[in-house]
Structures are given as C-alpha cells and as structure tokens.
C-alpha cells in the first residue's frame, strides 16, 4: 500500500505510536520486543517521510499531540488505567490545538 498523501503518513505514525509506547512498558517476550521496535522504527520513518512534504514543526506537533492522546486512550482501553474528566478535558484542548495547526497549514 502506497501512502502518497503526507497526512496519511502522519496518521499512520500516530496509529503506531501507542503500539511502541505501550510496548515499552508491557512487552515481556522477544516477539513483543521486536513488534515494539518495528512499530517505533516505522512510526519515525512515516514522520520523516511526511516532513519531506509538510512543515516539520506542524508534523511533529500533530504527531506528538495526537500520539499522546491515542496512547492515553489505548492505555485506558486495553490496560484499565484510570482516566478522569480533567484528562479528557486536556485531551480535548490538545485536539483543538492540533486542528488549529492543521487549519493554519492550509491557510
């Protein structure tokens, strides 16, 4: 599958980020360590390729912002970590910031 749109590369990197972040904490076997490493490498590769076509600051801010939100949600969904209203509110603020960056990119 070819990801020609740079925003699809950013989206792929964001999807992969919780895999390697949570993998660092929860991996206990060599296959899981390898999957964690592969997710990390592929995630950063996608960010590097997206940065060829988009402003690096915007790409990085979106990657970190959405990746952090996705990691928090995945940790809650798959590992039962508590999430409260303040965390949800801060994730919403983060998402508004990411949307704002995207809108500024298109302006």
Q: Which residues neighbour 39 within 8 Å (Cβ) at sequence distance 6 or greater?
A: 16, 17, 19, 20, 23
Confidence category of residue 2, pLDDT binned at 50, 70, 90: low
14 has pLDDT over 80: yes
Distance, first Cα to last Cα, the chain = 30
**31-58 tens-digit pLDDT:** 999 999 999 999 999 999 999 999 898 8
pTM here is 0.81
Does residue 20 sit within a domain? yes
Range of the structural domain that residue 79 is part of: 6-106
Does residue 1 sit within a domain? no
In this predicted model, which residue has the larger pLDDT, 61 or 32? 32
Does residue 78 sit within a domain? yes
1 has pLDDT over 80: no
Does residue 83 sit within a domain? yes
Number of independent structural domains in the chain: 1
Do 81 and 75 contact (CB within 8 A), yes or no? Answer: yes
């Amino acid at each position: 599958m070819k990801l020609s749109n740079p925003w699809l590369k950013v989206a792929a990197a964001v999807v992969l980020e919780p895999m390697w972040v949570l993998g660092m904490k929860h991996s206990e076997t060599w296959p899981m360590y390898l999957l964690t490493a592969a997710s990390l490498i592929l995630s950063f590769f996608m960010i590097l390729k997206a940065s060829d076509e988009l402003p690096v600051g915007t790409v990085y801010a979106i990657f970190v912002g959405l990746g952090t939100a996705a990691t928090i949600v995945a940790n809650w969904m798959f590992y039962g970590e508590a999430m409260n209203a303040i965390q949800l509110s801060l994730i919403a603020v983060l998402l508004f910031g990411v949307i704002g960056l995207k809108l500024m990119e298109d302006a």
